[in-house]
Structure 1
Amino acid sequence: MSNDATTTVDDRYRDASLPVEERIEILLSQMTLAEKAGLFFQTMISMGQDGELSDGDPVFGLPSNAEYVLGRSMNHFNLLGVAPTAGAMARWHNRMQELAASTRLGIPVTISTDPRHAFSDNPGAAILAGPFSQWPEPLGLAATRDAELVERFGDIARQEYTAVGIRVALHPQVDLATEPRWSRALQTFGEDADLSGELGAAYVRGFQGESFGPGSVSTMTKHFPGGGPQKDGEDPHFAYGREQVYPGDNFEHHLTPFEAVFAAGGRQIMPYYGMPIGTEYEEVGFGFNKSVLTGLLRERFGFDGIVCTDWGLVTDSEIMGQPFPARAWGVEHLTPEERMVKILDAGADQFGGEKCTELLIGLVESGTIPEARLDVSARRLLREKFELGLFENPYVDADAADAIVGAAEFRAAGDAAQRASITVLSNDGVLPLAAGIKLYVEGVAPETVAAYGDVVATPAEADAAILRLQAPYDQRATMFENFFHAGSLDFPAETLAHVAEVAAQVPTVVDVFLDRPAILGPIVDSAAAVVANWGVSAEALLDVLSGAAEAKGRLPFDIPRSTAAVEASRPDVPFDTEDPLFRFGHGLAL
């Protein structure tokens, strides 16, 4: 290794005719400590207006694009925000690659993203689709029970991502939604391990393609070894949700979907924030957990891909004006440097959501971390860039991006998936709705409904009513906490009273955005029909309600009968609530 940045560069690592492993060693042997350290950090980055480079984002405390690449030698970034057009995203990506090409070794940047294709008002779990085709959330994909559809989604998303330069998907999420109150269920494939594994593998195949290479998007499957068994369903972004519990002694069951993803060739893994309580594993967050990352992931499963921690395990930060401590669960007493040492010793390769390159450089310079340990992970991180073809062709065709992203064919496929995901839970005969009837609606634009019936102003005037609801959740102290829908699954009394009042006047259809398995009994008792969705347009919903599209969706989890049943269930055991109102797989045809 040369610490002299002025040394003449041996650029044979750019020769695509050489084996990748040889190219890695040629490049690695020339990298300075700072250049190696830059590989280890993957964090959020902002885009300038209309595809310009960004001077930073004060809201999220992000430095300029140039500071990241030139000042910190970083080259892995999670893109925040939605550009008005795909072409703008592509132009920004190309400018980022030009910036990277100006560095001594010209190591290209790798752009990643959280999910961008689904309907969601929860930026903690997903980013709005913007110009991309729009699909149901993963729970909705699970409701289709269609692995071919999921693989097709992955293939379309792959084409749209690569058109704008996104090469790593920080998904799929194959955690099992075994704790009904858990706030992250929406991005999972539900409660069943076999279905989650089947769909997770299809998702990976779609994104990565038939063989991994220049046309692929690398998938970072999360959250190993399964984040579902959260105590009381709380989210481990926050200290009150840091514990994962296994009263059913069912830790192994949560590994099942990951095994399917490994068999499908999943390239990267993100461990969860949570810390296991009462198991054979160390009681520290999974990103710090050597018994899990090395003993289980690396040794037992033989995984030699990239392991990137969840965001913000090392340093404290600020989100939306609020102090936000590092999610260093079980090791809160350690300094940031000590946390970094423990993460690397555990077997991780990258620090998610961090940009403190100076800490890692200092640990190597002090002899605390041997540089040879950095080389182990650097090889994995460089290998991914080489195999994705970023050294040969880092740029994208910005002029073509707008035609590819959100293409009519892709949007039609997303619309069809939305319709296929809608799940009819109960129906006393009101569905399908007759053509041209008088409809009273809430939560649906009247102009949309006009194609299906005559909109009236009051329930008393209507032949039927349609009410769209959001599954309930508790309001918490901060805006950021409220991005994570947690707490009670019971609808507020005023919501139940309103549904009952409308339903007493007219046959009423209630559609619920079911991001968690809400207590639906009182709604079912009042309404003539109850329907579940996981991100669908009003047109898709009305097509199913009217019989223009077939009702095909099936529940991806049980619907509990009561809060008492939820509280008595074991969070690590699937289908464990007593006498559920509707069981996994339930769904009516019309």
Structure 2
Amino acid sequence: MTTPAYRDPNLPVEQRVEDLLARMTLEEKAGQLFHTMLSMAPGGALAEDGPFLRYGTTELVTGRHLTHFNLLGQGDAGAMARWANRMQELAAATRLGIPVTLSTDPRHAFTDNPGASFNSGAFSAWPEPLGLAAIGDAELVERFADTVRREYLAVGFRVALHPQIDLATEPRWSRQSGTFGSGAELSGELVAAYVRGLQGPRLGPRSVAAMVKHFPGGGPQKDGEDPHFPHGKEQVYPGGMREYHLAPFRAAIEAGCSQMMPYYGQPVGTDWEEVGFGFNKDVLTGLLRERLGFDGVICTDWGLLTDAEILGEPAEARAWGVEHLSVAERAAKALDAGTDQFGGEQCPEVIVELVRSGRVPEERIDASVRRLLREKFVLGLFENPYVDPDRAEEIVGAAEFTAAGEAAQRRSLTVLTGNGLLPLRGRPDLYVRGMSAEAAAAYGNVVTDPADAEVAVLRLRTPYEPRPGAFESFFHAGSLAFPEEELKEILRLLDTVPTLVCVNLERPAVLPEIAERAAALVADYGASDAALLDVAFGLSRAEGRLPFELPRSMAAVEASRPDVPNDTEDPVFPYGHGIDVP
């Protein structure tokens, strides 16, 4: 039997793509246009039922012809590698044997939000991207992304659903910890380094493709609410800073990013059509394709077409501005806008019907399938889809990666005030709250009453307003100010004993009283107790500088413009603030 041209690695990629495309049925083409979620059964087995699964894994691959999957949940490295191999074996047994492309949300930091990222688990633990921005070292970001690449390759992930390069210009927005802060220039430098680390000089067999998000910048959300939810769908530009938010995406495109994800937001008060960006031809074709010259894959954010169930609760499709359209009409509008692939969806029959009814020409489907197939060939998936589970266990969380992540945690810490307290000396009597007493015992004598302490160490998180719903509860939004009773309790401690306060900044906290009365104030963006204590005792050097300003009041936040960086009046600490400890 003659080997099909698409199986010949010696032929040009374009020739292989055209050969495979010509052999595909409409149903097989339609399956390529969906990039959906999958969970993994214990031990790396394929899941045939469970959360997020409308269909079992076998049905999705063999019956519905999907070949792009986003793994949810965690597991050990060996299990993930075995799962990846089983996925590839399942795909290899299909008529054309098109390999699957496996993707993941971020897995290398401290956030655990099923709609955004997972904590590091088996992978090396680094600060959140905000912490990398606080360090501001492009070479470090490239080394970090290269570490991500090596650990992802070991378990079979070939697409990173990151970096997230929205600009953190609305202090209340819940997605800031995944960004590089409010500075467009710094974000551009760091995203270019990130793309180089993931993809290398050019996309190839040892690359992880970067799906940069969320075009054209999801930061300027009205009232800081998030467009995962209907009450947060509006994106606004009262300060006229639209071009500012585009700057990091220009840098990503120049660096060669392979994929781009538009956000859910619906622009309001601009010259763009007032529909979500995944349906927005002004933005995807006019801006991204034609003006910025991007020719990679455009994959929508998850769940734009169909209503679903998330964590046991009903969730409407995020079809902002086109809620009145049918699922098929939404899909047709997104395709006309320039979308190549639908994230979090698994309804290829809708595409088949659109083509057979004449509403969408098959040539339009072919254009997107070409992009998607080309990437599979360039990544070398047709030649080498499998991974080594034993090797995966050696690589993921390897000592060198873990040490590099721990060093970055220490560097990212941002000393806002020291007041002569830092560095701590000797083995003082320590009272600790919000951190492990066991970790603190390596540095001092832990006491249970602050009145008996020489120094206290208090770890806090950025305040937020708890939201109803299992899924929305993961999105920390609303007020940035500490509730009155909590603040009183914090200040009582600060007045009792000299206290080092460390605030984890997933958003810009409002903390003027704490800043005034703490003996020392430090910000972290994902750091272990040991990292903080090493810096406090002068064993490691903190290098961080604030990646956004810290507002003085919620009134100042509410008066600021969502699209304008660092726009609050008289901030407690400005963008870029940080001091060196002697």
TM-score above 0.5, yes or no: yes
CA distance in 1 between partners of 2:243 and 2:513 (Å) = 36
CA shift for structure 1 position 56:
2.2
Report deviation, 1:122: 3.1
Q: Which residue of 2 aligns with 1:480?
A: 471
Q: Residues 100-152 of structure 1: CA distance to partner in whole angstroms, max 9, x if unpaired?
A: 00000000000000000001243332112111101000001101111110000
2:139 maps to 148
Which residue among 514, 519, 529 is the counterpart of 2:520? Answer: 529
Aligned to 2:308: 317
> Structure 1, residues 554-577: CA drift from partner, whole Å, max 9, x if none?
100011111111111111111211
Q: Displacement of 1:322 after TM fit? A: 1.4
User: Conserved in 1, the CA contact under 8 Å of 2:38 and 2:52?
Assistant: no
Are the equivalent residues in 2 in contact too, given 1:10–1:26 (CA < 8 A)? no
2:283 aligned to 275, 292, 306, which one?
292
State which of 49, 57, 65 in structure 1 corresponds to 2:57. Answer: 65
CA contact (8 A) 1:290 1:346 kept: yes
Provide the rounded CA distance (Å) in 2 between the counterparts of 1:121 and 1:353: 19
Letter in structure 1 aligned against 2:17: I
- Distance in 2 (alpha carbons) for counterparts of 1:298 and 1:479: 37
Q: Partner of 1:248 in structure 2?
A: 239
Q: Which amino acid aligns with 2:310?
A: I
What is the correspondence of 1:442-521 to structure 2 with a 5 Å cutoff? 442-521=433-512
Report the residue type matching 2:68 in the other structure: H
Q: Secondary structure at the match of 1:504?
A: helix
The aligned residue for residue 347 of structure 1 is 338
Distance 1:151 1:306, change over 3 A: same
* Distance of 2:36 and 2:3 partners within structure 1: 29
Which residue of structure 2 lines up, in the alignment, with residue 171 of structure 1?
162
1:414 corresponds to which of 372, 388, 405? 405
* Equivalence for 1:5: none
Quick one: which of 371, 377, 390 aligns to 1:380?
371
CA distance in 2, matches of 1:96, 1:9: 26
In the TM superposition, residue 293 of structure 1 has moved relative to its aligned partner by 0.2
The answer to whether structure 1 residue 32 and structure 2 residue 32 are counterparts is: no
CA separation in 2, counterparts of 1:64 and 1:440? Answer: 52
Aligned to 2:6: 13
Q: Are 1:172 and 1:220, in contact at CA under 8 Å, matched by a contact in 2? A: yes
AA matched with 1:376: A
Correspondence for 1:238:
229
CA displacement at 1:210 relative to structure 2: 2.4
Question: Distance in 1 between the 2:115 and 2:356 partners?
Answer: 37
CA contact (8 A) 1:119 1:129 kept: yes
Residue identity opposite 1:147 in structure 2: A
Deviation at 1:9, TM superposition (A): 8.7
Question: How far apart, CA to CA, are the structure 2 residues paired with 1:525 and 1:121?
Answer: 31
Q: Distance in 1 between matches of 2:518 and 2:144?
A: 34
Match in the other structure for 1:268: 259
- Uncovered stretches (5+) of structure 1, i.e. residues with no partner: 1-7
Aligned with 1:345: secondary structure?
Answer: helix
What runs of 5+ residues in structure 2 fail to find an aligned partner?
none
CA distance in 1, matches of 2:58, 2:115: 27
**Are 1:566 and 2:557 matched, yes or no?**
yes
Q: In the TM superposition, what whole-angstrom CA distance separates every residue of 1:530-555 from its partner, at most 9, and x where no partner exists?
A: 11111111111110111100121110
Q: Residue by residue, what CA displacement relative to the aligned partner does 1:310-362 show, whole Å, maximum 9, x if unpaired?
A: 00000001112211000000111001110000000000100001001111111
Conserved 8 A contact 2:203-2:258:
no
1:42 aligns to 2:35 (yes or no): yes
Residue-by-residue CA offset, 1:71-127 (whole Å, 9 max, x unaligned): 1100000000111x2111111100100000000000000000000000124333211
Distance 1:155 1:551 in 2: 23
1:191 aligns with 2:182: yes
Alignment correspondent of 1:328: 319
| Partner Cα separation in structure 1 for residue 426 and residue 209 of structure 2 | 46
Alpha carbons of structure 1 residues 589 and 234: separation in structure 2 relative to 1, 3 Å? same
Q: How far apart are the structure 1 equivalents of 2:256 and 2:80?
A: 28
**Aligned-partner Cα distance in 2 for 1:123–1:139:** 19
Tell me how far apart the structure 2 counterparts of residues 62 and 516 of structure 1 sit (CA, whole Å).
Answer: 35
The amino acid that maps onto 2:103 is S
The count of residues paired between Structure 1 and Structure 2 equals: 581
CA distance in 1, matches of 2:516, 2:489: 13
Between the aligned partners of 1:514 and 1:122, the Cα distance in structure 2 is: 16
After superposition, the C-alpha distances for 1:351-406 in whole angstroms (9 at most, x for unaligned) are 00100111111111111111111000000000000000000111111221111111
Match of 1:78 in 2: 70
RMSD, aligned CA: 1.0
Secondary structure of the structure 1 residue equivalent to 2:260: strand
The one-letter amino acid paired with 1:343 is A
Partner Cα distance (1:201, 1:67) in 2:
38
Q: Is the 8 Å Cα contact of residues 34 and 342 (structure 2) preserved in structure 1?
A: yes
Indicate if the aligned counterparts of 2:265 and 2:276 stay in contact, CA closer than 8 A.
yes
CA distance in 1, matches of 2:423, 2:111: 27
2-structure distance, mates of 1:56, 1:156 = 33
Q: Is 1:358 the equivalent of 2:358?
A: no
Residue 352 of structure 2 aligns to a residue whose secondary structure is helix
Q: Which consecutive aligned stretches of 4+ in structure 1 deviate over 3 angstroms post-superposition? A: none
Q: Structure 2 length normalisation: TM-score?
A: 0.99
Q: Structure 1 length as normaliser, TM-score?
A: 0.97
Query: Which amino acid counterpart does residue 68 of structure 1 have in structure 2?
Result: L
**What is the rounded CA distance, in whole Å, between the counterparts of 2:334 and 2:2 in structure 1?**
32
Partner in structure 2 of residue 400 of structure 1? 391
